[in-house]
Amino acid sequence: MTQTSENVTWLTQSGYDQLKAELEHLTGPWRVEIAQKIEAAREEGDLKENAGYHAAKEEQGKGELRVRQLTQLLERAKVGEAPTDTGVVAPGMVVTVAFDGDPDDTMVFLLGSREAAGDLDIYSPQSPLGRAIDGRKVGDDATYELPNGKKASVRIVEVKPYTG
């Protein structure tokens, strides 16, 4: 598969290491643990009415989905340095925007991968808001289309590199 900027996920080395460690845990110790839970529940008897068995199988399914997500993400990840403080909106930057120019109606988020940050809201560079603000700087206005077809406008209030 050819990598384009649309399907590459940029990660810092620490972000990559964290996701790699999660994948290693899920494909090693976690798989052993969930298999033991399923076997213990299976030994309880009738599987049709065994809530513990069904819960363990559901947990296994969610874990295996996460393994696939992490594997795909890490396959297309590019590891690089955190962006420099240029004041320009780009992936890896924490952005504060004011809706309709109202300084009291603001939102702070990371422009980047949903895997890259803990507590911050995250918007993809490919999202309507991400595309509208990418490359802009503090004081610039941008308009983008909402899912309902209406337009929303924002003013860039602050841009700073994500430091983890």
Tell me the whole-structure pTM to 2 decimals.
0.57
Residue with tokens 């030994």: 43
**Which domain CATH number covers 74?**
1.10.287.180
The domain containing residue 44 runs over which residues? 9-79
Residue-level pLDDT at 116: 53
| Whether 120 and 61 share a structural domain | no
Q: Which of 79, 101, 123 is the last residue of a domain?
A: 79
13 and 74 share a domain?
A: yes
- 153 and 101, same structural domain? yes
Do residues 97 and 145 both lie within one domain?
A: yes
Q: Give the chain's domain count.
A: 2
Answer whether residue 132 is part of any domain: yes
In a domain, 85, yes or no: no
The residues, any chain, with a CB within 8 Å of residue 133's CB and separated by 6 or more, are 89, 95, 97, 111, 140, 142, 154, 156
Q: Are residues 75 and 97 in the same domain?
A: no
66 CB neighbour count, 10 Å cutoff: 14
- Of 33 and 93, which is predicted with more confidence? 33
CA atoms within 13 A on the CB side of 159: 22
Predicted confidence band of residue 56 (pLDDT cuts 50, 70, 90): very high
98 and 123 together in one domain: yes
Q: How far apart are CA 93 and CA 163, in angstroms?
A: 9
More confident residue, 119 or 140: 140
Q: Bigger pLDDT: 77 or 6?
A: 77
What proportion of the chain, given as a percentage, has pLDDT over 90?
45
pLDDT in tens, 78-127: 776 666 778 889 887 889 999 986 778 899 988 876 555 567 788 888 88
Residue 88 lies in a domain: no
Evaluate whether residue 128 is within a structural domain.
yes
Task: Look at residue 42 and tell me if it is in a domain.
Answer: yes
